[in-house]
Chains A and B, each alone.
Chain A
């Protein structure tokens, strides 16, 4: 199975701060990487697909990037509504595997 190592596991940041979450794949997964946000009691919501493409309706302060087998989710100017748990997911090779999640809180 492809391992997705996500960091940090938790993060506390201030309003308007820039936040970066990373996922390291254990092997090449191309651009078969998506990012999801999950709020308490809700289902995950797609933010980024194909490593760098913003999903419909997602604010432009979210962006995704790739450097080799390292993938990053960046949130510019953190807002209150951005708190929650963030997951990366690889779907290059079954079984699809998730990162361990990053819990983002406001400082």
Chain B
């Protein structure tokens, strides 16, 4: 069974960097696409970006140059780094698998809530 698990600090100070890990079991991240999605207080959802099976990345332009998604295939993990965070980055962050053949998100992590506050 495919499982995804996010981990990372729940509290980040403004202007610092947010770093999250998604650990995947039951499936290799060298297949399909692997995304980060966030849900803001008030229920708005935003796609932040993905890393593909080949290691290529694509990001939401709204995050401009603050975002980076990388991976460690030996550990079957991928990572989100968001720099220069503000309180507007407070959200629950989910990692998810995007199934290319079907074009949908079929597996999600349970989510990790990140608060940006001093």
Interface residues of A (CB under 8 A from B): 1, 32, 34, 36, 42-46, 49-50, 55, 85, 87, 89, 91, 94-98, 100-101, 103
- B105–A95 CB distance below 8 A: no
- A50–B43 CB distance below 8 A: no
Q: Nearest Cβ in chain A — how far from B35, in angstroms?
A: 8
Q: How far is the CA of A21 from the CA of B17 in the complex (A)?
A: 38
Task: Given A98-B45, A100-B44, answer yes or no on A43-B110 (Cβ-Cβ < 8 Å).
Answer: yes
Say if the beta carbon of B26 comes within 8 Å of chain A: no
- B47–A43 CB distance below 8 A: no
Q: How far is the CA of A45 from the CA of B60 in the complex (A)?
A: 22
- A98–B105 CB distance below 8 A: no
| A–B Cβ pairs within 8 angstroms, 5 of them | A45-B108, A49-B103, A49-B104, A91-B104, A100-B43
Q: How far is the CA of A18 from the CA of B108 in the complex (A)?
A: 28
Interface residues of B in 29-75 (CB under 8 A from A): 43-47, 58, 60-62
Further pairs besides A43-B110, A101-B44: 17, Cβ < 8 Å: A34-B103, A42-B110, A43-B96, A43-B108, A43-B109, A46-B104, A49-B102, A49-B103, A49-B104, A55-B104, A89-B45, A89-B47, A91-B98, A95-B62, A98-B44, A100-B43, A101-B45
